Amino acid sequence: MTLITDVQNAPGKQILNVFLEQQTDNIRILLPPQANASLYDAWNIDVVTGSLNTHPSLDKALNKVDTLIITHSNFLSDLRKGYINLLYSALGTGVKYIIYVSSILTGNSSCIPAQENVETETAIRNSGIVYTILRRNILMEQMPIFIGNPLSSGKILFPGGNGRISFTSSDAIARVVTYFIRHKPKVSATYKISSAISYSFTDIANILSAISEMPICYSPVERSFFRKSLLTDSIPPTWTDRIVSVAKSIEMNEFDVPDFTLFRLLERAKKEQEKISKRSLSYWLGREQERVHTGKNKNLSDYLKEVYLS
DSSP string across the chain:
-EEES--SSTTHHHHHHHHHHTT-SSEEEEE-TTS-GGGGTTSS-EEEE--TT-HHHHHHHTTT--EEEE----SSS--HHHHHHHHHHHHHHT--EEEEEEES--SS-S-HHHHHHHHHHHHHHHH--EEEEEEE--BGGGHHHHH--HHHHSEEEES-TT-EE--B-HHHHHHHHHHHHHT--SS-EEEEE--SS-EEHHHHHHHHHHHHTS--EEEE--HHHHHHHHHHTT--HHHHHHHHHHHHHHHTTTT----SHHHHHHHHHHHHHHHHHHTSHHHHTT-GGGSPP--PPP-HHHHHHHHHH-
Contact 162, 190 (CB under 8 A): no
Cβ atoms within 10 A of the Cβ of 152, count?
8
pLDDT in tens, the chain (310 residues): 999 999 988 899 999 999 998 888 899 999 999 999 898 988 889 999 999 999 999 999 999 999 999 998 899 999 999 999 999 999 999 999 999 999 999 878 999 999 999 999 999 999 999 999 999 999 999 899 889 899 999 999 999 999 999 999 999 999 999 999 999 999 999 999 999 999 999 999 999 999 999 999 999 999 999 999 999 999 999 999 999 999 999 999 999 999 999 888 888 887 776 665 554 444 444 433 333 333 456 788 888 998 898 8
The structural domains of the chain, ordered by start, are: 2-141+166-195+255-309 (3.40.50.720)
Contact 98, 185 (CB under 8 A): no
Angle at 245 between CA 88 and CA 110, to 5 degrees: 75
Angle at 97 between CA 103 and CA 196, to 5 degrees: 35
- Global confidence as pTM: 0.90
